[in-house]
């Protein structure tokens, strides 16, 4: 279950920080860690024994906290949860000062923040690896776990079509960049004005030129899911966008993932959602709990993939 060492000591702020070979290595290692845990109930080795991970949370999360904290325990290490009031990045002290202090005490940092600039600044100032556990621009751990989950289901990724339905948000950005690296055709179905960051799309197009990916944007969700292998959706209003929730609910109503939309994609399509889901809004309960849904596989694989990241960067 060895990695090549190229990620040791490095931060992961964007999926674009990774090469195709490094992504493949993380997938292989996540698979090995998952298989070992399932067969033995524990890991034979403790690759992170004596290591400590600081977990900075400006936003609450069930999956991010539990998967990272449990993962560190299973790998023999220890995690420290730092709630929003514990640090107050950029308020009680500068982001750089936080990074420099943590670097004297811990072996790695994960950060779930509002502003992407905050995690980028943490990574620049820290002398230990910093992993982006969500920002307003990207969610690299989610995208890596998602495509690892699709790989488990399909046996390969190149040439598959993933359609993201809804807001071109941080999860879409990471799926777009990672999909373009891995040869996946990525589509977005969204209302006008919600196509995501133009600079990220341009960067993904440049990456796609070398992998054969097609990156497309649609207004009609039924057209966008035609022949898709994956339908992906997320909440219409993320944390920090609560004031826009009512307006977004009206605007995005035609982009609800329901049984009719799933039927438009074909019998073998899988449906994904990074959770938490607003049932009846971006996705209906019959789809979320239905035969096409693999959302719980995604949620489980967050832990396995993140464990691979922690070993690769901290061991």
100-114 confidence digits (pLDDT tens): 999 999 999 999 999
Q: CB under 8 Å to 60, separation ≥6 — which residues?
A: none
- Out of 234, 248, 256, 306, the active site residue is 234
- Out of 146, 185, 274, 306, the active site residue is 274
Relative orientation angle of helices 20-40 and 170-182, to the nearest 10 degrees = 100
If you average pLDDT over residues 139-147, what whole number do you get? Answer: 98
If you average pLDDT over residues 277-286, what whole number do you get? Answer: 97
How high does pLDDT run on average in the chain?
A: 96
Structure pTM?
0.97
241 an active-site residue?
A: no
Query: What domains can you pick out in the chain, each with its CATH number?
Result: 15-139+302-314 (3.40.50.1370), 140-298 (3.40.50.1370)
pLDDT over threshold 90, residue 1: no
C-beta separation of 187 from 224 below 8 A: yes
Kindly state the DSSP code that residue 290 receives in the 8-state scheme.
S
298 an active-site residue?
A: no
pLDDT over threshold 90, residue 163: yes
217-273 confidence digits (pLDDT tens): 999 999 999 999 999 999 998 766 777 888 899 999 999 999 999 999 989 999 999
- Residue 3 is predicted with a pLDDT of 79
74 an active-site residue?
A: no
259-281 confidence digits (pLDDT tens): 999 999 989 999 999 999 999 99
pLDDT over threshold 70, residue 197: yes
Q: What is the rounded distance in angstroms from the CA atom of residue 233 to the CA atom of residue 141?
A: 16
C-beta separation of 64 from 111 below 8 A: no
- Out of 29, 43, 63, 112, the active site residue is 112
- Out of 43, 65, 185, 302, the active site residue is 302
- Out of 43, 116, 142, 298, the active site residue is 142
């Amino acid at each position: 279950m060895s990695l090549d060492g190229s990620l040791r000591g490095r931060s992961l702020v964007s999926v674009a920080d990774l090469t195709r070979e490094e992504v493949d290595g993380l997938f292989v290692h996540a698979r090995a860690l998952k298989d070992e845990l399932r067969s033995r109930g524990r890991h034979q080795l403790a690759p992170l024994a004596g290591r400590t991970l600081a977990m900075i949370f400006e936003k609450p999360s069930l999956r991010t906290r539990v998967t990272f904290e449990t993962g560190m325990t299973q790998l023999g290490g220890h995690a420290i949860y730092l709630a929003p009031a514990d640090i107050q990045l950029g308020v009680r002290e500068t982001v750089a000062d936080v990074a420099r202090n943590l670097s004297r005490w811990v072996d790695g940092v994960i950060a779930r923040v509002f502003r992407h600039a905050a995690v980028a600044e943490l990574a620049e100032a820290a002398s230990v690896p910093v992993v982006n556990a969500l920002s307003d621009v990207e969610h690299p751990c989610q995208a890596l776990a998602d495509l690892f989950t699709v790989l488990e289901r399909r046996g390969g990724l190149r040439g598959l079509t993933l359609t993201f339905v809804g807001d071109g948000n941080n999860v879409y950005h990471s799926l777009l960049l990672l999909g373009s690296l891995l040869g996946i055709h990525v589509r977005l179905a969204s209302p006008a004005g919600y196509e995501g960051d133009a600079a990220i799309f341009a960067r993904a197009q440049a990456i796609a030129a070398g992998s054969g990916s097609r990156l497309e944007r649609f207004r009609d969700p039924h057209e966008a899911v035609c022949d898709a292998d994956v339908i992906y959706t997320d909440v219409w209003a993320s944390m920090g966008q609560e004031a826009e929730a009512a307006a977004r609910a009206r605007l995005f109503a035609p982009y609800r993932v329901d049984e009719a939309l799933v039927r438009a994609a074909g019998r073998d399509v899988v449906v994904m959602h990074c959770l938490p889901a607003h049932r009846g809004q971006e996705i209906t309960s019959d789809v979320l709990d239905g035969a096409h849904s693999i959302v719980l596989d995604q949620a489980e694989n967050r832990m396995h993939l993140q464990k691979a990241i922690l070993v690769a960067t901290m061991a």
